[in-house]
A and B are shown apart, each in its own frame.
Chain A
Amino acid sequence: AQKITQTQPGMFVQEKEAVTLDCTYDTSDPSYGLFWYKQPSSGEMIFLIYQGSYDQQNATEGRYSLNFQKARKSANLVISASQLGDSAMYFCAMREFNNAGNMLTFGGGTRLMVKP
């Protein structure tokens, strides 16, 4: 079974509007972390935001926020006031505490395209 599922292969959003990128995960580990990364066309992976499984509040980092619904096992990324520079691939990833190292398991990604 997929551990991280991103069901939206591609999305369009109008500049200055908000957009939600979906991520669902599967784990039996009570302690885990969820991460979002951005990959622009240049190829690098940029860390955006982190949410821990025991965090009481949804994480926020500037225009990025994470809509964490633990019972539903979802960790959707919300980007407010989209900018043209937000056009990129976005990856959701999970780290389960029980894994021996610190490996991240990634979803298949969502390509976001911001329209002017």
Chain B
Amino acid sequence: DSGVTQTPKHLITATGQRVTLRCSPRSGDLSVYWYQQSLDQGLQFLIQYYNGEERAKGNILERFSAQQFPDLHSELNLSSLELGDSALYFCASSVEGGTSTKNIQYFGAGTRLSVL
């Protein structure tokens, strides 16, 4: 168990809908990262938050947004869903924001999103 909690584990929804994925980081970790794993794109970084503030942005669509709350949990909001958004969405957490290359990211079990 990595200590990173993601809910829900599975989500089935329809095109055009909006969903929220939730992540609780490991105790003491200040950074939260979101990644998307799909068959065609592989594992891709979406966005990082550090202590409540956005730190880095990757290949995140404008229809997607995220935030990190004062208690450090994070939510990833996906709106106007399309079939191609079906994927496994991972949250990861680490202690710091990126001053060291060894800043190990621990991953949650993922949320599997199916858009029908």
Task: State the B residues within 8 Å of A (CB).
Answer: 2, 31, 33, 35, 42-45, 48, 50, 55-56, 58, 88, 90, 92, 94, 96-98, 101-110, 112
Contact = CB atoms under 8 A, between A and B. Distances in A.
Contacts of B105: 35, 47, 102, 104
A109 B41 CA distance: 12
Given A43-B109, A43-B112, A46-B2, A100 B88 contact: no
A31 B102 CA distance: 11
A103 B104 contact: no
Interface of A: 31-33, 35, 37, 42-47, 50, 52-53, 91, 93, 95-97, 99-109
Given A43-B88, A43-B112, A101 B101 contact: no
Contact of A100 (B90, B98, B106): B98
Nearest to A32: B101
A33 B105 CA distance: 12
Given A31-B101, A43-B110, A102 B33 contact: yes
Given A106-B42, A106-B43, A37 B107 contact: yes
28 contacts: A37-B107, A44-B110, A45-B90, A46-B107, A47-B2, A47-B107, A50-B102, A50-B104, A99-B98, A101-B31, A101-B48, A101-B50, A101-B56, A101-B97, A102-B31, A102-B33, A102-B55, A102-B56, A102-B94, A102-B96, A102-B97, A102-B98, A102-B105, A103-B45, A103-B56, A106-B42, A106-B44, A109-B42
